Amino acid sequence: MTDLLNATGPAYAKAMGHPTRHRLLLELGEDGATISQLANRLSTNKGNVAHHLKVLIQAGLIRRGPTRTVRGGTEQYFVRAAKRIRFEQV
């Protein structure tokens, strides 16, 4: 994980155009989280979280992290692309 990501330009602005995506970035923390964990923390459904994570992945703000097996299933963790993200001020 890089230390700093300079998130400047319209792609980043568009990705951060929804308040849920702000909350997801904060909730991921340094260790990352699964869709289920994020849905519980944000009190929303998994489909909503999955949609917003996809937008953040496409913008390069987060990435898929490690997986782990739990009760016969596989959990996918998502992590921030950098420890710190600097957004352009407008």
Q: Which of 37, 18, 13, 26 is nearest to 80 (CA)?
A: 26
Please give the single-letter amino acid code of residue 63.
R
Q: Which of 62, 70, 20 is nearest to 43 (CA)?
A: 20
Per-residue pLDDT of the chain (90 residues; tens, 9 = 90+): 678 888 888 888 889 999 999 999 999 988 899 999 999 999 999 999 999 999 999 999 999 999 989 888 899 999 999 988 888 765
**pTM, entire model:** 0.88
Query: 27: exposed, middle or buried (C-beta count within 10 Å: 0-12, 13-18, 19+)?
Result: middle
In whole angstroms, give the CA distance from residue 13 to residue 10.
5
